[in-house]
């Protein structure tokens, strides 16, 4: 077991504020996670995001999937972190590369991140705590939904703010390493082909897969609904065709599975004392989440 300065919490007393910050709490026994980042050719955005991971607790390593067939420039100034950064060079630009079961991933827990996503350390740690209690589910930040149109006899993708959701975007989510194997080796090859053709919908495919295997919904943590990259000049998801394509994917995936496995939930996880007024002198478990 990897040593740490944390100790198990006493579940009867001393579980708020300073004690919680000093103790390992729900993180016993000690466990780490790997961050997997999918990127194409946005050096400055990537390195800025990686710099923000310095001294992130429980981080084992970072795997950067370079999705551009052209290798990264020798001029990239890779930041020095407290953990190793492994760069995997892809032979072709494919969103399926995000979910390949790379041997270099040694932890069961994986935090999938897009290169333009910025999360605070406390948000990541809370997400990891929630995932550890729900290891078979997708646990993450931006949530999305789907709905059925009786008029058109078709499923539609829904990104609007809603009181329920059925998917978590995998550009900011924790998943179990097993699902990389399942996506690559067990899921229908037709679905991966659709992802290749549309250069989209890999996250919808993963949500279909996990809900099909578990018959459970994903879990959303914190208030994040979307991420806005102020330094990005372009995005794969800009343009009017993005939403119709994702609706097409839901309908195509349903035909392949023979049913729609997505499950709605109205549940969001925050820390216990989030937005709770505390007596003078007491501290929260997490200050902002």
Q: Which of 103, 114, 203, 270 is catalytic?
A: 203
Q: Are 179 and 259 in contact (CB under 8 A)?
A: no
Q: Is residue 73 part of a domain?
A: yes
What is the residue range of 200's domain?
18-269
- pLDDT score, position 241: 86
Q: Are 18 and 286 in contact (CB under 8 A)?
A: no
Q: Can you say whether residue 17 is alpha, beta or left, with left for phi > 0 and alpha for psi between -120 and 50 degrees? A: left
Q: Is residue 258 part of a domain?
A: yes
Q: Is residue 276 part of a domain?
A: no
Kindly indicate the confidence band of residue 5, based on its pLDDT and cuts at 50, 70 and 90: very low
Q: Are 110 and 180 in contact (CB under 8 A)?
A: yes
Among 17-26, 73-82, 86-95, whose mean pLDDT is lowest?
Answer: 17-26
Give the closest residue to 113 by CA, choosing from 133, 132, 127. 127
CATH number for the domain that contains residue 120: 3.90.550.10
Q: Is residue 3 part of a domain?
A: no
C-alpha angle 104-105-109 in degrees, rounded to nearest 5? 175
Please count the structural domains in the chain: 1
Cis amide linkage into residue 29, ω under 30° from 0: yes
**163-214: per-residue pLDDT in tens?**
999 999 999 999 999 999 999 999 999 999 999 999 999 999 999 999 999 9
Kindly indicate the confidence band of residue 28, based on its pLDDT and cuts at 50, 70 and 90: low
List C-alpha distances in Å: 156 to 176, 195, 243: 27, 17, 9
In this model, does residue 24 exceed pLDDT 60?
A: no
Return the H-helix or E-strand segment holding 124: helix 121-132
Report, in angstroms and rounded to the nearest whole number, the Rg of the chain calculated over CA atoms: 20
Q: Is residue 229 part of a domain?
A: yes
The helix/strand count (H/E) of the chain reads as: 7, 11
C-alpha angle 108-111-114 in degrees, rounded to nearest 5? 145
In this model, does residue 128 exceed pLDDT 60?
A: yes
CA 4, chain centre distance (Å): 25
**47-75: per-residue pLDDT in tens?**
999 999 999 999 999 999 999 999 998 88
Place of tokens 């996503």: 117
The whole-model pTM stands at: 0.89
Q: Is residue 34 part of a domain?
A: yes
Q: Is residue 58 part of a domain?
A: yes
Q: Are 95 and 236 in contact (CB under 8 A)?
A: no
C-alpha angle 22-25-29 in degrees, rounded to nearest 5? 115
Q: Is residue 286 part of a domain?
A: no
Catalytic status, residue 203? yes
C-alpha angle 137-26-23 in degrees, rounded to nearest 5? 150
- pLDDT score, position 41: 85
């Amino acid at each position: 077991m990897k040593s740490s300065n944390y100790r198990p919490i006493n579940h009867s007393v001393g579980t708020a504020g300073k004690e919680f910050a000093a103790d390992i709490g729900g993180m016993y026994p000690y466990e780490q996670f790997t961050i997997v980042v999918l990127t194409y050719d946005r050096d400055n955005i990537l390195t800025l995001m990686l710099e923000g991971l310095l001294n992130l607790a429980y981080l084992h390593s970072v795997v950067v999937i370079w999705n551009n067939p052209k290798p990264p420039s020798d001029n990239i100034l890779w930041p020095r972190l407290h953990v190793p950064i492994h760069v995997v060079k892809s032979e072709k630009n494919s969103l399926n590369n995000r979910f390949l079961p790379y041997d270099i991933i040694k932890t069961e827990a994986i935090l999938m991140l897009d290169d333009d996503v910025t999360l605070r350390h406390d948000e990541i740690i809370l997400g990891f705590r929630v995932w550890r209690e729900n290891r078979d589910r997708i646990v993450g930040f931006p949530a999305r939904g789907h709905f059925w149109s009786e008029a058109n006899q078709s499923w539609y993708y829904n990104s609007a703010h809603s009181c329920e959701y059925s998917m978590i975007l995998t550009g900011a989510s924790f998943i179990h390493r097993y699902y990389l194997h399942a996506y690559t080796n067990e899921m229908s090859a037709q679905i991966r082909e659709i992802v290749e053709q549309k250069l989209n919908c890999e996250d919808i495919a993963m949500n279909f897969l996990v809900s099909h295997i578990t018959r459970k919904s994903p879990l959303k943590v914190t208030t994040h609904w979307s991420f806005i990259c102020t330094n990005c000049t372009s995005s794969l998801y800009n343009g009017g065709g993005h939403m119709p394509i994702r609706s097409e994917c839901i309908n195509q995936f349903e035909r392949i599975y023979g049913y729609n496995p997505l499950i709605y939930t109205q549940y969001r996880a925050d820390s216990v004392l989030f937005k709770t007024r505390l007596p003078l002198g007491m501290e929260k478990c997490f200050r902002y989440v």
